[in-house]
Structure 1
Amino acid sequence: METIKFSLDNLPEKKDNLTLALGTFDGFHKAHYKLALNARLEATSYSGILFFSSSPENYLSRNKSKLILTSLDDKIRYVSKIGLDYAYVVDVDKSFFSLAPIEFIKRILLPLGVSSIVVGEDFRFGKDGAGDVTLLRQFFKVYCLKIEKLDGVKISSSNIKEYIEKGEIKKAWKFLGHPYEICGYVKKGFQNGHKIGFPTLNISLKDNYVLPLNGVYYGLCYCLGLPYKALINVGNNPTIGKLKEPIIEVHLLNLNKDLYNDFVYVSFLEFKRKEIKFNSLQELKNQIEDDKKWALSLDPFK
């Protein structure tokens, strides 16, 4: 799959008979996967997907959260497994999302060579979400997929965010179709983990990810090209000295190595307990030892 980045003022080469999947694709959940897969299966010539260089939430949200489930790099990584020909990335700013629906069609979709579109039945586009499937059908062949549900609940990025913020990691995994994952660089922290015998990687997040409920999780940390079992803490460290903002600390269960400045991925697989304030450091150490035994007993692939 080739990634093609472009702007309204610098359009890429036209690909005739392009079948394109459209959506916001935050989380690249099961319904998103189905859209992308259908774009590949329905294509008679070229297949592709359109991403925005920055999340629409950054420009359209007012009272809503601007937190994301997946960065642009994450989305490209997930979609690369499907076998599309192209991942288009259009450079956006606030003015881009003021385009009227007909402008979006005439300035982007038609110049790209789009002949067929794959969207969900509730897809909206253009300024104020005024564009819909009916308008798209005036210009393209449209494959309109029904809203996907699990257990009677719509598979949507907003629902998945809610599950993650409640610590319902397995439920989020079920709706995503893959474990919830964040990434960033290992930075130097306060060394509190080292002081009590449980060294941790302090993760400086690459993007404005949704954070799980403060607490302890089991997961995997992908570093040095391999996955390692990990005990993950999300929180403010109330026992040692409460922080203003929650941080992510990862204790590797089968690796002890200096990884400062390394780029890592962290997958959340199971929730253990909420964050609490202990009466002493010894109580905290005892609990972490118990958490570690629990994590070591788990199989990450079940």
Structure 2
Amino acid sequence: MISGCDTVVTFDRHPRGMLAEAPPRLATTQLMRERLAALAVREIVLLEFDSNMRQMPPDAFASQILARRLQADSVRVGSNFRFGKDGAGRPRDLGGHGFAVEVQPLVEQGGTPISSSTIRSLVSAGEVERARQMLGCPHEVALISPANPALDAGIRLVEDGHAAPATGRYNCLVATAVGGWVPRQVSFAGGVAEIAGFADGPPLPDHALAVQLLECID
């Protein structure tokens, strides 16, 4: 831990993934680190969400993890923050463990609270422009090459576990193999993406590439 610096604490996986299928990811760990670094966050702590963490009571999480392990001076959480076994802990339960607690109201946009669940719903409905407004940047999808080499080079698959948009054609920015981004139209359907003009302009990565969704065309 870096003493006296702002630190973001999260889990290495979605807690719901221990009980059922985890919701689609909105960002890879690397992308999350890059975006937080752009906000001047100096340290990110990824807690392993294993069976012990899942069974940990709220009081133990506050005292053992936040106070003792992370040596927190102050903790800021949203008003809907839940923690500990079965999500039984509430923000008020963080008090009395030797650190200050600040509860932040939920940020809203157009009367709708901004949350990962809301953003996932917007992406899955193809409303990527509204999702971009809530995220503060375009939603980024990781694409990988299919196992079948006979398929067209412009055909890619959405990486497992990532939030894919609804079936449709989108204006996007595609990461190149030499750095930077190029505009392309990308069609999505059932986890399959087809990149128009794949061979045009700067070379694109052969295997994995990133696509930022700007707007749905049709």
Q: TM bucket by the smaller chain? A: 0.7 to 0.9
Match of 1:89 in 2: 46
Match of 1:247 in 2: 192
Q: 1:202: Cα distance to partner?
A: 1.6
Give TM-score, length-normalised by structure 2: 0.87
Aligned equivalents of 1:154, 1:71: Cα separation in 2 = 23
CA RMSD of superposed structures (Å): 2.3
Unaligned runs of 5+ in 2: none
What is the one-letter code of the residue matched to 1:215?
G
Aligned equivalents of 2:170, 2:149: Cα separation in 1 = 21
Counterpart selection for 2:13 from 48, 54, 64: 54
Q: 1:181 to 1:231 in 2, by over 3 A?
A: same
Query: Contact (CA 8 Å) 2:74, 2:102: kept in 1 or not?
Result: yes
Counterpart selection for 2:90 from 116, 125, 132: 132
Query: Contact (CA 8 Å) 2:175, 2:204: kept in 1 or not?
Result: no
1:1-302 to 2 correspondences below 5 Å: 45-61=4-20, 66-110=23-67, 111-139=69-97, 140-187=99-146, 193=152, 200-203=154-157, 205=159, 207-224=160-177, 225-235=179-189, 245-252=190-197, 254-255=200-201, 257=203, 259-261=205-207, 263-273=208-218
Runs of 4+ deviating beyond 6 Å: none
What is the one-letter code of the residue matched to 1:144?
V
Query: Contact (CA 8 Å) 1:202, 1:249: kept in 2 or not?
Result: yes
Query: Contact (CA 8 Å) 1:54, 1:72: kept in 2 or not?
Result: no
Match of 1:287 in 2: none
What is the one-letter code of the residue matched to 1:56?
P
Query: Contact (CA 8 Å) 2:157, 2:191: kept in 1 or not?
Result: no
Deviates more, 1:75-84 or 1:247-256: 247-256
Cα deviation 1:230-268 (Å, max 9, x = unaligned): 111101xxxxxxxxx53122224752646322x321000
Q: 1:208: Cα distance to partner?
A: 0.5
Give TM-score, length-normalised by structure 1: 0.65
Provide the identity percentage: 22
Aligned equivalents of 1:185, 1:61: Cα separation in 2 = 25
Q: 1:186: Cα distance to partner?
A: 3.6
Cα deviation 1:66-102 (Å, max 9, x = unaligned): 2221222221121111222311112222332221111
Residue aligned with 1:114, SS: coil
Q: 1:220: Cα distance to partner?
A: 0.3
Query: Contact (CA 8 Å) 2:141, 2:158: kept in 1 or not?
Result: no
Aligned equivalents of 1:85, 1:66: Cα separation in 2 = 27
Q: 1:132: Cα distance to partner?
A: 1.3
Aligned equivalents of 1:53, 1:132: Cα separation in 2 = 21
